[in-house]
Amino acid sequence: MAQTQVGWIGLGSMGIGMSKNLQKYLITISAPPLIYTNRTLSRGESLKELGGIPVESVEEVAKKSEIIFSCVSNDAILQETTEKIIASGRIEGKIYVDCSTVHPDTSIKIAKQISEAGGQFVASPVFGASPVADNGKLLFVTAGPSSATSRIEPYIKDVMGRAIMPMGEDVSRSSLLKIAGNILVVSFMEVISEAHVFAEKTGLGSEILETMIGDNFGPVLGSYSKRLTTGAYAPESNGKAGFDAPLAMKDARHAINCAGAVGVKLPVSEVGLRNLESAEAYANEIGGRAIDSSSMYGTLRRVAGLDFYTDLCLMRDGKGLPN
């Protein structure tokens, strides 16, 4: 294992933290340094400082690597990445591990393409936001050939993730579990946003509500509340969201699509999606600012007659002080 060459594709808000932790691990086992690429290669400067080797293309990563990880933003980019990996040359015996959140049908299609080309595909979406990725505490949900999932485990457990949930060989199952998890996340953000607007309009106040959420419902929901009260739901001008709203909307649409295929309704997800779409439309109206997956809070504030941005956000952005 020490001489196995590992490659990485995709350095978004999740991929950069994951790949840095992987490179740190490779150093400890005296393995070859991580080879990586990204559409904007400069995103990998901090990875390069750790010893990672940048290359210009997906094809070069695939050609040089025996195990290839990727974390990309959507199904179309995953399909494009797969085609480039296959076009890179012989991939017999290589393992392709994708950590993106995609539709189960996409995972099935990619697995078939990689298998027909002689490689093995592992669908391995992750649970956790970018700070969790930075800390190497993600939850990995893996599905694919057992020989491949066992081989990649040392690169995941206690390296990029705190735990692995094995889902067998059917790659659609890991995608379905990730989508089920996202149903919960979107729903939690929607109802916590509603509760905060309620607290502000009734005079109860967000501070006491947040204390109750953390004490009564635990640190996870408490952290969701803090995305609202710290202003993370609506980053400053030229700022970057922790998890971009367009990605959350993509995930919600996948959930609604999968549910509809089996005759299930997801009314809370549908409401959350509509509020995210409204938040995106408003952000575009005011100059195309980035918004987080929790930005339905801004939509609900506007519906209640409040500003999209809290006083904290307005002060942060130099737009005025509260009276």
In terms of domains, do 18 and 101 share one? yes
Tell me whether residue 276 is in a domain. yes
Residues 133 and 75 in one domain: yes
Q: What is the pLDDT of residue 242?
A: 83
Catalytic residue IDs: 178
Neighbouring residues of 132: CB distance < 8 A, sequence distance ≥ 6: 138
CATH code at position 21? 3.40.50.720
CATH code of the domain containing 235: 1.10.1040.10
Distance CA(98)–CA(110), nearest Å, equals 10
**In whole angstroms, what is the distance from residue 173 CA to residue 104 CA?**
7
Band of the pLDDT at 243, cuts 50, 70, 90? confident
Return the pLDDT at 166.
Answer: 97
pLDDT at residue 241 in the model: 86
Tens digits of residue pLDDT in 96-129 = 999 999 999 999 999 999 999 999 999 999 999 8
Is the per-residue pLDDT at 58 higher than 70? yes
Sheet strand arrangement including 161-166: 126-127, 138-142, 161-166
Q: Is residue 71 domain-shared with residue 201, that is, in the same domain?
A: no
Q: Which two structure tokens, joined as six digits, stand for 32?
A: 């070859």
Same domain, 248 and 210: yes
Please give the tally of structural domains in the chain: 2
**pLDDT tens digits for 186-221?**
999 999 999 999 999 999 999 999 999 999 999 999
Same domain? For 163 and 184 the reply is: no
Instruction: Determine the 3-state secondary structure of 241 from DSSP.
Output: coil
Tokens of 256: 């609604």
205 and 291 fall within a common domain: yes
3 — pLDDT class (breaks 50, 70, 90): confident
In this structure, what are the phi and psi dihedrals at residue 138, rounded to the nearest 5 degrees?
Answer: -70, 160
* pLDDT at 129 (0 to 100): 85
Contact criterion met (CB below 8 Å) for 174 and 198: no
- Span 300-309, mean pLDDT? 97
**Residue 202 falls inside a structural domain:** yes
The per-residue pLDDT for 238 is 82
Question: For residue 80, what pLDDT is reported?
Answer: 98
DSSP assignment letter at 129? -
To the question of pTM greater than 0.95 for the whole model, the response is: no
285 in the same domain as 262: yes
Instruction: Please check whether residues 115 and 149 belong to one and the same domain.
Output: yes
Looking at the structure, tell me whether residues 120 and 16 fall in a common domain.
yes
Of 123, 141, 169, the position where a domain reaches its end is: 169
Reply yes or no on whether the pLDDT at 322 is more than 50.
Answer: no
Percentage of residues in the chain having pLDDT higher than 90:
91
DSSP 290: -
| Residue 150 structure tokens | 């066992």
Q: Is residue 24 within 8 Å of 46, Cβ to Cβ?
A: no
Residues 164 and 218 in one domain: no
pLDDT of residue 320: 58
Question: Is the separation of the CB atoms in 24 and 50 below 8 Å?
Answer: yes
Residue where a domain stops, chosen among 150, 169, 188 = 169
The answer on pLDDT for 82 being more than 90 is: yes
Residue 35 is assigned to a structural domain of this protein = yes
- Residue 34 CA, distance from chain mean position: 21
How far, in Å, CA of 215 to CA of 222, rounded?
Answer: 8
Assess if residue 323 is contained within a domain.
no
Q: Is residue 165 part of a domain?
A: yes
Dist. CA 229–CA 186, nearest whole Å: 17
Shared domain check, 35 and 152: yes
* Three-class secondary structure of residue 76 per DSSP: helix
Q: Which residues form the domain of 125?
A: 6-169
- pLDDT of 155 > 70? The answer is yes
> What does the pLDDT average to over 230-253?
91
Residue that is last in its domain, among 111, 144, 169? 169
Mean pLDDT across the chain: 95
- Structure token digits, residue 194: 């509603």
Rg (alpha carbons) of the chain, rounded to whole number: 21
Angle CA(87)–CA(90)–CA(91) in degrees, nearest 5? 90
Q: Collapsing DSSP states into helix, strand and coil, what is residue 7? A: strand
> Is 187 found in the same domain as 157?
no
Are the CB atoms for 52 and 19 separated by under 8 Å?
yes
pLDDT > 70 fraction of the chain, expressed in percent and rounded:
98
Neighbours of 22 (CB within 10 A): 23
